[in-house]
Amino acid sequence: MHVLFNSVDKNKYKYTVKHYFDANKAWLIQNIIGHPSKDDYINMYLIPNCPVTKVDILHAEDTLAPNLGSLKGKTTRKRPKK
């Protein structure tokens, strides 16, 4: 039996060290401002002098996986089978 999955450790080697740290900064700021969805976070222009760019957000999604706080808060519960 073979199981294939994407490891986050391998994803961080696709980028330079600067891109990885910028992605980590974007992920941390997303946690601080209340876990907005990726699309809302990209379109957010309310934060003055924010060093995060669209590319940083996309790299964070790829290297660090989706933000769990955002997923848990916006996912609806499926009705269980009887």
Q: What is the mean pLDDT of residues 11-25?
A: 87
The structural domains of the chain, with segments of one domain joined by +, span 8-67
Judge whether residue 25 has pLDDT over 90: yes
- HSE-CB of 13 using CA atoms within 13 angstroms: 4
**How much is the pLDDT for 22?**
92
Q: What is the mean pLDDT of residues 4-17?
A: 73
**How much is the pLDDT for 26?**
92
| Distance, CA of 48 to CA of 81 (rounded, Å) | 48
What pLDDT, in 10s, does the model give residues 28-79?
Answer: 998 888 888 888 888 887 778 888 989 999 998 888 877 777 777 777 778 8
**Amino acid identity, residue 12?**
K
**How much is the pLDDT for 7?**
64
